[in-house]
Amino acid sequence: MKKCCLLVALLLPLCLSRVTAQSYVAFAAGPARDLNNLRIPIYQAPIVFQWKPSPRFAGVIFDVEASMPFDGSSSRVAYTLNPTLPDQLRVRESILPFSWTVGIGFHIRFRHDQKKKNLPGQKKEEAWALEIYPAEIEGQVINVHYSSYDKSNYDILNPDVGTNRGGPEAAIALSHSVSNGFSVMLRARTPPLASLGSYPLSFRFVAPLQVLLRYKLYQKRRK
């Protein structure tokens, strides 16, 4: 039963998608905010490459993404037995998640207007589309750094450690084409289906909400 549901979920976008769009390659970038660690503000900068093959493939998009961290800080308390030093101090903790994703998605266009602009030969395209990425593989390398402190005298309570894990994940996006080639995309990713290990950490896998500006390079249609 579960397998049937999974199969239907995978094939449904294929049935719904409209086979009208041209094939293209696209590049996208923008900021992302992690929604899975609300206590620690973690931000990333994703760079996305997408390829939509010919219309025969009914809205299939191949998606590759790499995300760099640009902020994610918390703090920890360190303690010492040395009576000549303050008994505790706060240490700044930086949580820096790098991630990569490879997978396929489906493009479902549900509103499309093509208006002729004043200049001949130019068209203004307005389209809203839903993009579903049900089958993706994601790897996350989460590095943890502490600001410099006296390691010989102080011990951090419950220190975090870095991790390098990965697994399947999914994403959903809403995109709006604003002009020829350019579109804005709001995309939410789930965290990868994997374990962080047995040692308790103060953070979880990141699940970013991304605001991406995408530029599509359309490939010429064959006559």
Partner 1 sequence: MNKGLLHYLCACGLMIGMFACAKRNFYPDANRPGLSRLTAHGFNVVTAYIDGVPYINPFNKLNGNSLPHIGLINTGTSKDTMFIAWNMIPNNLMLSSYVEEWLTISFPVSKNFTSADILSLKGMRLDSNNAAIQLEEFYDSTNIFGTANIYIVNLTISTKGLLDTVFQCSALFNGIYGSDTITDGRFDFKFDASDLGY
- Give backbone dihedrals phi and psi of 56, rounded to 5 degrees, phi first: -55, -30
Q: Could you tell me whether strands 163-179 and 182-189 are parallel, antiparallel, or unpaired per DSSP bridges?
A: antiparallel
84 is a site residue for partner 1 (CB under 8 A): no
If the CB atoms of residues 88 and 195 are measured against partner 1, the closer one turns out to be: 88
Shortest Cβ distance from residue 82 to partner 1 (Å)?
A: 9
CA-based angle 118:124:125, to the nearest 5? 165
Name which position in 118, 200, 220, 222 contacts partner 1 (CB under 8 A): 200
Name which position in 198, 217, 222, 223 contacts partner 1 (CB under 8 A): 198
Q: Measured between alpha carbons, how far is residue 143 from residues 13, 93, 112 in Å?
A: 36, 10, 43
Task: Tell me the window of 7-15, 102-110, 122-130, 148-156 that interacts with partner 1 (CB under 8 A).
Answer: 148-156
- The separation between the first and the last C-alpha atoms of the chain, rounded to the nearest angstrom, is 45
Shortest Cβ distance from residue 83 to partner 1 (Å)?
A: 6
Q: What's the 3-state SS for 90-103?
A: EEEEEEEEEEEEEE
Candidates 83, 87, 97, 89; CA nearest to 33 is 97
148 is a site residue for partner 1 (CB under 8 A): no
If the CB atoms of residues 87 and 113 are measured against partner 1, the closer one turns out to be: 87
Name which position in 2, 39, 83, 148 contacts partner 1 (CB under 8 A): 83
Q: Could you list the residues that contact partner 1 (CB under 8 A)?
A: 79-81, 83, 87-88, 151, 155-159, 161, 198-200
